Amino acid sequence: MTATTTFRIGGDLEVRRLGFGAMHLRPDSAEARAACLAVARRAVELGVTLIDTAHMYGWGANEDLLAEALHPYPDGLVIATKAGIRRTSSGEGWRHAGEPADLRAQVDEALLRLRLDRIELLQLHRLDPGVPLADQLGALRELRDEGKVGRIGLSEVTVAELSEARAVVDIASVQNRYNLLDREHEAVLKACEAAGIAFLPWRPVAAGTSGARAEIAAVAKEADATPTQVVLAWLLAHSPVILPIPGTTSIPHLEENVAADAVHLDRDQYDRLRSLRSESDLNGS
């Protein structure tokens, strides 16, 4: 099976389908910071054109790091970020922040941190249950119309929520948890596929546990690839709208991930992997 290697987000923003998730680049020392900067720069050297970040990743520090590593950005590089969550000193350490004024402030903050005039893909990190969806997306639509945002995406939504959102504004992407061994959001993926919406699976390699499955290890041996490469190649073959964004703080691991779009699974290998039961099935949940 041969998977396409590029996708046009929103119908016009072309990126390499295999991107990079920057979430783990949160250094706690000068040495670690240098290593994280090197990983981000190496991703671009390897041809990655889509990097995913968020305000929540270090409460702005991740966006700052990407700007330090990569600005001025090369032509064609898309830095996608997220808004809609604020830090707190209690509970889980964060709260929903979907009030229109707060979303506007968060976008302005992200523009400053990323040193951008326009965020090509701005994703609502979580829907705020305390704010009407039309108000949240209406604020982002206004920011898009003003030129501060190019395209609008969602994260962790259901099919019904996606449908409701699309009635308010064009949705260019959805970012839900999804991988070979966790396909809870298959229906959302299919809805995205039907509408031509990019689907960015987070945790795309099953939290690094893929190699423990004998079936995956067998296909990896046949394909002369690693288990991680095989599960990423399966995602690319599974749907043309999937844009995996694996993350890492290791350059060798990064290089392994990025090489996955050169791994080609035949129909039998793809089907054998597709027939695997998910981790939730195996745990009886």
For 209-248, the DSSP string reads TGGGSHHHHHHHHHHTS-HHHHHHHHHHHH-TTB------
- 8 A C-beta contact, residue 120 and residue 79: yes
- Helix (H) or strand (E) holding 175, with range, is strand 173-175
Please, which residues have CB within 8 angstroms of residue 69's CB and are 6 or more apart in sequence? 36, 37, 40, 41
Q: Calculate the CA 14 to chain-centre distance.
A: 15
**Residue positions counted in the chain:** 285
Choice among 57, 73, 178, 270 that is catalytic: 57
Three-state SS at 174: strand
- 8 A C-beta contact, residue 151 and residue 196: no
Q: Is 270 a catalytic residue?
A: no
State how far the Cα of 272 lies from the Cα of 267, in Å rounded to an integer.
Answer: 9
State how far the Cα of 190 lies from the Cα of 26, in Å rounded to an integer.
Answer: 33
Residues serving a catalytic function are: 57
